[in-house]
Structure 1
Amino acid sequence: MLETQERFVTSGRLRLWTERAGHPDQPAVLLIMGSAAQGISCPDPLIARLVERGVQVIRFDHRDTGRSSVVDFDAHPYAIADLAADCLAVLDGYGLPAAHVAGMSMGGMIAQWLAVHEPARIRSLTVLTSSPMGYDPRPAWARAQGGEPPAPDDLSPPSPAFLAHLAAGMPPGVESDVALFRVFNGPVRPFDEPAARAMLELALSRATDPAAAAHHDLAGQTFAPDRLAPLSSITAPTTIVHGDQDPIFPLGHGEALAAAIPGSRLHVVPGMGHTFFSPGLPEEIADLIRL
C-alpha cells in the first residue's frame, strides 16, 4: 500500500490540502489536476509508479475543491495566474526550490503558465490532455453546437458524445459524474468504472463545498495578458502526452502545444481519452511523465 503524508500549506489567505508520497530526499514531481478536480483524482497506481521511478510525488486540492479553502468568488475572483500561485505555495510549503511539473487539462494550462512566468521553479514540464493556455475554445464550441463550420483558427471542438452529455443535463451527483467519466474515457479503452466511482464518491465525501468547484470554469474564462504570453519562451524540457480519443481536447490541441513549445516531444497514447481510469493506463502515463 502506498504510504503518504498529508499537510496543509498556506497560499495568502488560503489553506491548501496536500499529500506527499515517496522519500523527501528524492526529486519532486508536482501533480496539477484539472478544472474542478481534487488531488485524489490522480489515480494511486500512477503515483505509486512514479515513486518506483525514484521521485517524491506531491498532489494537492486546488482552492475551491476538496479540503482546501473555499473562496467567495464574487468578492475575490481569481484566474489561472492565481491557481499557479497556489502551486508555488505548495512548493514553498515543502521547501522545494523547483520540481518536475505534470499538469492535466486545466492543470496543464497552469503548468504552462508556470513554465513561462516562473521558469526557475520548473525542472521539467509534462502537459497531459490539455490545450495551449492562451487558446479560448468557447467560440469553436459554440460553432460546433450551432452546426456552423469551423473558423480557420479553430482547434477541434469536443466530441459529439461530450456535447450530448452536456445537453442531457443530468442532475449533479455521483451518477452524473460517473457518466461524465465514461465519456471522458472514450470508446476504445475499457473504462474502470469501479475505480472511477470509488474516487468520485470519496471526492464528494471530502469536499467542503462541492458547488464551489464550478468557480474554476469562471477562472478559466479569463484571458489576461499573462496567459497570452508566447509558449515559445518555455525552456524547460517538455513532453506533451495526449490521447487520440480525447473527447474534450482532441489531438489537434496536443499537436498545437508541441508546435508552440520549442524542442518539446509529443507522445500520442492510442485509445486514451481525457482521463486515466482504464486498466493499466495510470502506470503507462506515469512512465511518460518527464523526469
Structure 2
Amino acid sequence: MQNDIWSEEFGAAADEPIVLIMGSMSQGILWPDEFVGRLAAGGRRVIRYDHRDTGRSRTVDFEQEPYTWNDIKDDVLRVMDRHGLESAHLVCHSAGGLLGQMIAVERPERVRTLTVIGSSPLGEREGMVLMRALMGRPQPEGSLPEPTPEFVAHYRGLMAAPPPAGRRERIEAMIAEQRVLHGTALPFDEDAARRLQERVYDRARDLDAVTNHRLAAMAAPDFEPMGVLPQVKAPTLVIEGTHEPAKPGHGAIIAERIPGARLMMVEGLGHTLPPDVHEELARAILTHTAAPH
C-alpha cells in the first residue's frame, strides 16, 4: 500500500526530519498548517500524511482487504522509506502515539527521538476504559484514568442518536466532537473549527472508511503487551494538556515507564492542537529534536 498513502513535506531536505503521526481515524491535516510551519521555520524537514482509509489515502472494502493496526504502524515506515529516511524524529498525537511507541520498541534504529502528545501507554487497553465508562461500569483496580464526564456524555449521546446525514449534518457533528475534544479551558473558535472540518469532509475519498480503523483494532488487537515501554531507547518527550478530556493522566504513566522520558504539561490544552499552544509546543519539539542527542 506504499504508493497509496498520501503525504507531503515542508522545509529543507537537509534539515532534521520529523514525521507527524496523527491519531486513529484522523487525516494528516489535523496537524495544523501554522504549527507545521513553525517546525519547518525552526529548521526541520516536516512530513505529514493521511492514514490509510482517511483523507486522500486509499480506502478499501475491509471485508475484502482486512488489515490490522500493525499494518497501520508499518505505513509509517513506508512513508519514511518513500521520503528516503532511514530514521526520523516521530511526533505523534493520540493513537498515533501508540504507533510511535510500537515503532520505538520494534525498530529503534529508525527513531531519532519520540514525542507523544495526548496519548496512552502502549500495552494498555484504553479503549476498554472508554467502553466501561460509556456503559457506566466500574473500572477495575489499576485501570487507566477514564475520560472526563463531558467526554463520556458526548459519546453516550452519539450512541443513542441516529447518525448524521448529508454534508451539513456531518460537519456540524464533527464540530461538536471537536468542541468536546478541545476541552474547557481555552476559547473555542467555532469559525476555525468549521473551516477545518469542511476541509476534512471535502478532501476525504470516503469519509465513512475511517471506521475501518476500529475494525482493524477488533480484528487483530496486535498492540504490544504491557511491560515493553522500558525497552524504548529513543529520547522521549511526553506532552499532555491540563484539560485533556480523553486520556487524562495517561501521559504521566508513559513518562514513568520510558527510561529518561520527560513529561511536559501544557496549561489549558485539551485533546486538540489549537493556535493558543502552537508556539509552546513547537518550541518544545524543536528543542527535543535538535541534533545531536
TM over 0.5: yes
Give the aligned residue type for 2:195.
A
Q: CA deviation at 1:132?
A: 1.1
Give the aligned residue type for 1:248.
A
Correspondent of 1:284 among 273, 280, 284: 280
Q: CA deviation at 1:58?
A: 0.2
Contact 1:116 1:229 in 2 (8 A): no
Correspondent of 1:237 among 235, 238, 243: 235
Which structure carries more helix by proportion?
2
Mark the runs of 5 or more structure 1 residues left unpaired by the alignment: 1-9
Correspondent of 1:143 among 122, 132, 141: 132
Correspondent of 2:174 among 177, 183, 204: 177
How far does the alpha carbon of each residue in 1:107-161 deviate from its partner, in whole angstroms, 9 at most, with x for none? 1110001100011110000001000121112433343334443311211111111
Contact 1:241 1:288 in 2 (8 A): no
User: 1:118-133 residue pairs with structure 2 within 5 A?
Assistant: 118-133=107-122
User: 1:146-157 residue pairs with structure 2 within 5 A?
Assistant: 146-157=135-146
Q: CA deviation at 1:197?
A: 1.7
User: 1:90-239 residue pairs with structure 2 within 5 A?
Assistant: 90-169=79-158, 171-172=163-164, 173-221=170-218, 222-224=220-222, 226=224, 228=226, 230-239=228-237
Q: CA deviation at 1:228?
A: 4.7
Contact 2:236 2:261 in 1 (8 A): yes
Q: CA deviation at 1:163?
A: 1.4
Correspondent of 2:41 among 37, 52, 57: 52
CA distance 1:62–1:232, change in 2 (3 Å): same
Determine the structure 1 residue equivalent to 2:68.
79
Residues 1:267 and 2:264 aligned together = yes
Identity of matched residues, %: 41
SS at match of 1:124: strand
Contact 2:122 2:224 in 1 (8 A): no
**In the comparison of the two structures, how many residue pairs are matched?**
278
Contact 1:134 1:223 in 2 (8 A): no
In terms of mean alpha carbon deviation, does 167-176 or 61-70 score higher? 167-176
Counterpart-to-counterpart distance in 1, 2:197 and 2:145: 28
Counterpart-to-counterpart distance in 2, 1:209 and 1:240: 33
SS at match of 2:34: helix
Counterpart-to-counterpart distance in 2, 1:225 and 1:26: 32
Q: CA deviation at 1:271?
A: 1.3
Counterpart-to-counterpart distance in 1, 2:141 and 2:148: 19
Q: CA deviation at 1:72?
A: 2.1
| TM-score, length-scaled by structure 1 | 0.90
Counterpart-to-counterpart distance in 2, 1:98 and 1:146: 42
How far does the alpha carbon of each residue in 1:180-218 deviate from its partner, in whole angstroms, 9 at most, with x for none? 110001111112222222111111111111000011123
SS at match of 1:215: helix
Counterpart-to-counterpart distance in 1, 2:262 and 2:241: 14
Determine the structure 2 residue equivalent to 1:23.
12
How far does the alpha carbon of each residue in 1:224-253 deviate from its partner, in whole angstroms, 9 at most, with x for none? 2645561110000000000121111012x1
CA distance 1:91–1:229, change in 2 (3 Å): farther
Give the aligned residue type for 1:213.
V
SS at match of 1:280: helix
SS at match of 2:48: strand
SS at match of 1:166: helix
Q: CA deviation at 1:164?
A: 1.3
Counterpart-to-counterpart distance in 1, 2:224 and 2:125: 14
In terms of mean alpha carbon deviation, does 60-69 or 150-159 score higher? 150-159
Contact 1:113 1:227 in 2 (8 A): no
Counterpart-to-counterpart distance in 2, 1:138 and 1:181: 19
